[in-house]
């Protein structure tokens, strides 16, 4: 079952923890902010997370220093 990782851009400060934990899902722009590598329909705010990345995504949610991430079932 895949999940959706939602990035709250009003909270995100581009600290880079999520891009380390989800290297196959998220890239990083020049200013440090996460970029969805495969944005569905151009949506870079709600990123699809496959089963293999589920644990890493949970870690990213709990470790994000700005609490900018949340996970929801698709």
Partner 1 sequence: MDNAMWAFGRVSGFASLALITVSVLLGILTRSGRPPPGIPRFSITLIHRNISLLATVFLFLHVGSLMLDSYAKLTVTDVVVPFLGAFKPFWQGLGTVAFDLVLALMVTGLLRQRIGQRTFRAVHWFSYAMWPIALAHAIGNGTNGTSKWFLVMAAGAGAAVGAGVAWRLSTNFLETAKARAGALR
CB of 65 to partner 1, least distance (A): 7
Of residues 14 and 44, the one with the C-beta less far from partner 1: 14
* Count of residues that interact with partner 1, criterion CB under 8 A: 17
SS3 sequence of 46-64: EEEECHHHHHHHHHHHHHC
Name the one range near partner 1 by CB under 8 A: 27-35, 36-44, 45-53: 27-35
Q: How far is the CB of 60 from partner 1 (least distance, A)?
A: 8
* DSSP H/E element including 17: helix 17-21
Among 11, 39, 43, 55, binds partner 1 (CB under 8 A): 11
With contact defined as beta carbons under 8 Å apart, do 20 and 14 qualify? no
Looking at residue 45, the DSSP 8-state letter turns out to be S
């Amino acid at each position: 079952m895949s999940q959706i990782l939602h990035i709250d851009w009003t909270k995100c400060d581009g600290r880079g923890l999520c891009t380390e934990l989800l290297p196959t899902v998220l890239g990083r722009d020049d200013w440090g902010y996460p970029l969805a590598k495969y944005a569905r329909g151009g949506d870079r705010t709600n990123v699809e997370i496959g089963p293999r990345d589920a644990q890493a995504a949970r870690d990213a949610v709990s470790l994000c220093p700005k609490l900018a991430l949340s996970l929801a079932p698709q």
